[in-house]
Chains A and B, each alone.
Chain A
Amino acid sequence: MRRKLSEIFIEGCIRLSGVLCISFVVLIFLFLLKDALALFGGYSAGKFLFGSQWLPVSEPPHFGIVPLVIGSLYVTLGAILICVPIGVGAAMFIAEVAPQSLKTILKSLVEILAAIPSVVLGFIGIVWLGPFLKTTLGLSTGMCGLTGSLLLAFMALPTIISISEDALAGVPKAYREAAFGLGATRWQTLWRILLPAASSGIIAGVMLGIGRVIGETMVVMMVTGNAPVIPASILQPLRTLTATVASEMGEAVSGSEHYFALFAVGLILFIITFLINLVADMSLRKARR
């Protein structure tokens, strides 16, 4: 039977779409690379990577990303320290302790959190959390790394909770039965058996949470004080890689050194998140096996 022309056409489209998915990643990389490399015609890569000053509009300009990297590191570390214990704990509660009806409610609540746009959380950081931290901790300004960390931790919770919960729920029933058979309590089973057995999945969740935190832009731009200097502590204003791109691109003249420097920052972000996702994907694969 002759295949219909329409069928050949639609199958062509289907295959083309698959190819397009790959090409987007390649395109994103190439277009970032093209504009990022333009910077290094006149500016040394060493000074970019290891320079401790980010002064894009001074004369001569300095494009050292160390302050931005440290800013990102501070905020990310702070957020992870806060959200991993809370997220994994909540996942343990939802997966193993909560009764079915409560489980459904908690899961939808976490989904609701995931749906809140980041700019809304940034807004709350400005009008409430920042001033609140300023008065309670006696800071000179509430717009600092800690405010960003707290909000980012909040934003990363859905990722960590849902993936860790999946991992815990996915531990084979036999493990549970074997542990109960040996007389272990539910808590002992959860702590000594399920948690280690689900560790690959939980690590994947944490990695994806980190990826989410490093890549988040609006919240950090709005609440961390936007100061591209090496911060002494997380209680001071700082600026992340993402916030730098977002806040300066509007003023950078297209085709200028500053413009290319921001693309170079974008490329760094692309590479960091690419690696994190690769690791997360590998742990997820391991978890499924």
Chain B
Amino acid sequence: MRLRAPLSAGAGLAALLASVAVAVTFGPADISTGDVWGSVAAHLGLGGDGATVTPLRDGIVWNLRMPRTLLAAVCGAGLAVCGTVMQSLLRNPLADPFVLGVSSGASTGAVAVVVLGAGGGVVSLSAGAFLGALLSFALVLLIGHTSGGGTDRVVLSGVAAMQLFSALTSFIVMTSADAETTRGVLFWLLGSLTGADWGQLLFCAAVLAVVLAVCLGHARTLDAFAFGDEAAAGLGIRVARTRLILLSATALLTAALVSCVGAIGFVGLVLPHATRLLTGSGHARLLPAVALTGAVFLVWVDTAARTLLDPREVPVGVVTSLIGVPAFVAVLHRGRRRT
């Protein structure tokens, strides 16, 4: 039974807010929900003079856990939305935000900056990753376009780009990196929210807001792709133009997220499938819903990643896959029963 739209939207938002508020209290330092509210209220100027919270605790909440938890929410939402759009647009249930080689391009860019010192110290790891991601996406579009432009060609070009940039990354790491740098790069490649700060959060949130608006504006158009490009064209959709806009928008968002937190796998692949079971396939409902489920999911996964093996941290990408694979199998089984 599908839930009523306003009800489920309200419940989803409430779940997200509650998740963030509770997740922030988890961690080695003992922080209460009261500390969280005190700190947040003080920083937002909502009364509370901060006197109730010690500066140390305030620092942990406001400078460490809050941006990290919110960035997890933004990344979860963004990856899930990108995955949904890619799957619908490319008519491929295995498509995810990284299917067009964006993550491997980002890795190469990051590694080039960290290991080779490309950019002369001016360009940060994030900026290098962002440029690498966009370069890879441009390459995929170029190959896809020159080879005919169909969805299969685009997916195959993405696979080719993924291989190419993975090889380049390995090559650079093997030939130039010392053990210490390799470990740092590897951690980032698997996805990590360790370095989250307010700057990253605002950047990612702004890109998410723009891209989500673009995708919602194309919700009906995405519905029309259900029976393929030809059918969409018959419904008045300018297929090539729409595909370019939506692929570019999702690639931009993916690049922004990957440049901040690395390639966090599985969220963009699994959450769209799981959410479709709740909302149906209409994108006007699916897109906001998948943003919420993705956000809640990654908030909890990151909380698990930073607390399970305390004081050590598990890369969040490892946890998403460890949780995601069984969840995916469950989704596949449910799907089999439905048809």
* A, B co-complexed: no
Interface residues in chain B, defined as those with a beta carbon under 8 Å from any beta carbon in chain A: none
